[in-house]
Structure 1
Amino acid sequence: MTAYDIAPESARITATPAAATRVYNRAVGYYRAWKNRRAFYRLGEMSDAELADIGLTRADLFVAVDLPFGSDPTVKLRSIAGLRAASVEELARKVA
């Protein structure tokens, strides 16, 4: 006899929705990553000046495009832009 055989009925019922929720959340995550990847490819059509306006360079796009398909490249771009902004602010404080 296993622990599953003697587990109360309520424990068995709650296990199934948790698994279904994980599957649902994973599917939603993949859809969001796919949607953001489509928007990411539109960034490649922007000029270098437009990318600079939003705090990115063309090299940043090449770094983010190498991520696996299931991952979201916009998360990597947000990280890169945030680190660049923080380093610029730190440099400005040292100069001032």
Structure 2
Amino acid sequence: MAAIEFATETPRITTRPAVATRVVNALANAYRAWKNRRAFYRLGEMSDAELADIGLTRADLHVAIGLPFGRDPTAKLRAIADERADTIEDIARKVA
């Protein structure tokens, strides 16, 4: 086998694992999105006081549910809660 023949066969060998990895990653991401959606729907069953304890409001849930299925609503809720916590800390620093 010449060096040229080996060089032309190499991409076929290396693309198969890459395709398999992409398929596995896509399946894992879909499962994670489904699992997080189920957890997200359980948040809707909480009272407003319980949501306030974790730094969220019912309106935050409505904002996050508007995301497409492939996106994780819990990541959006985390960003909202973090932003709100930072804002409250900034206000507290100005008062003190």
Asked if 1:43 corresponds to 2:47, the answer is: no
TM-score (structure 2 length as normaliser): 0.89
Structure 2 distance, partners of 1:81, 1:36, is 17
1:6 Cα offset (Å)? 7.8
Cα root mean square deviation, aligned = 1.5
Asked if 1:70 corresponds to 2:66, the answer is: no
Q: For residue 11 of structure 1, what is the amino acid of its counterpart?
A: P
| Count of residue correspondences | 92
Q: SS in structure 2 opposite 1:8? A: helix
1:10 Cα offset (Å)? 2.8
Q: For residue 23 of structure 1, what is the amino acid of its counterpart?
A: V
State the identity as a percent: 71
Gaps spanning 5+ residues in structure 2: where?
none
TM-score (structure 1 length as normaliser): 0.89
Aligned ranges 1:1-96 → 2 under 5 Å: 7-96=7-96
Gaps spanning 5+ residues in structure 1: where?
none
1:70 Cα offset (Å)? 1.4
1:12 Cα offset (Å)? 1.8
Which runs of 4 or more aligned residues in structure 1 lie more than 4 Å from their structure 2 counterparts after TM superposition? none
1:94 Cα offset (Å)? 1.1
